[in-house]
Structure 1
């Protein structure tokens, strides 16, 4: 059974992304919160990405987590084709689980994008004794659903997240879905749901509660 989860007790994190920018879009506010933890160890795992896009992700991770010790595992499986490369994706996720972690962040198994969805399904099969938080990524598919874990964000932290996204992923800024109002609007909506100004929302399928 997973140990009880406390953000203040996190010392090791595994970040799983299907594509460069997935992790920061879905959990950039949480990364900024974790950045204040002394001695934080991070395994940053991407399954796809061109060399230029992987370089963006590497730079972004160090900006979001400037004091953490980050081990990168940046792979080049075919973008948009991960279900056809299930065995390779599974090997990558299993390798990321070596040594365990206090917290895992991954996309959701209910995500409409096939690459995100596969990674969300694989994460709990490898991290059986770790709290897994599934982040959300806004997209044209309209797949945003109900979430059951919220992280409140101050206005400064929400703005900082968006600024870092814009600064470190310049290749994406011409995309129709890459928009400050989209990122801040979703954060405001999730904030309303948990009675804060801004928030990130996650799904957690299993947690252990202690008295």
Structure 2
């Protein structure tokens, strides 16, 4: 396993198909990146006004001090591929601002809205590192990852705390609990010799020596 760093990340582009996708998949990474002066583009394809309000509050909590620009769209949940043109335009609009780091769903995600974003994002961001996150779900689509972000215990638990605080609309889902979130983080941590971690896929990167 080869450790590497991403120094000088000042512009981050975040993509989710639905409110809470970004924070479930990359909340620990966001807490690690958060700093004054960080510029963040935050794009969601869908969500009711109530759910989008949750996402705004969550982003502010996960990224304290960051300058966050929101682009919250209202594509029908589960129907994003049928609205390809609007989804593509949303991604292209976010790409106009550029980014050092891009965070998006994984190509092997079983949800069609997630997969669409995973396919569109790399076509718009050709000069940035793109990390594809994972989301635990009923479909059982968790796979092998090749990039890990170790999380100190306090940061992993802070992520879960913020998920519960800022997405109360999801509390009745049978999979929304500490054991799911921390269990996956513990498993990914074991894979990278840490207690907790988030795992991503990076399909293409250029190493500067």
Question: TM-score scaled by structure 2?
Answer: 0.97
Deviation string for 1:57-87 (max 9, x for gaps)?
Answer: 0000000111000001111010000010111
Cα shift readout 1:45-68 (whole Å, capped 9, x = no counterpart) = 000000000000000000011100
Say what the alpha-carbon RMSD is for the aligned residues. Answer: 0.9
Q: Secondary structure at the match of 1:199?
A: strand
List aligned pairs for 1:33-48, cutoff 5 A.
33-35=32-34, 37-48=35-46
Match of 1:194 among 170, 192, 206: 192
Match of 2:135 among 137, 145, 150: 137
Q: Secondary structure at the match of 2:73?
A: strand
CA shift at 1:7, angstroms? 3.0
2:50 corresponds, among 17, 33, 52, to 52
> Would you say the 8 A contact 2:80–2:112 is kept in 1?
yes
Higher relative contact order, chain-length normalized (CA < 8 Å, sep 6+): 1
Q: Distance in 2 between matches of 1:210 and 1:62?
A: 33
Return structure 1 stretches of 4+ with deviation > 2 angstroms: 5-8
Pairing of 1:2-151 with structure 2 (within 5 A): 6-35=5-34, 37-151=35-149
Q: Output the TM-score relative to the length of structure 1.
A: 0.96
CA distance in 1, matches of 2:192, 2:5: 18
Structure 1 residue 173 displacement after superposition:
0.6
Describe the superposition over 1:85-130 as per-residue Cα deviations: whole angstroms up to 9, x where unpaired: 1111000001010021000000011100000010011110111111
Does the residue aligned with 2:164 lie in a helix, a strand or coil?
helix
* Structure-2 separation of matches of 1:7 and 1:38: 17
In structure 2, runs of 5+ residues without a counterpart are none
How many residue pairs align between the two structures? 206
Give the deviation of 1:6 after TM superposition. 3.8
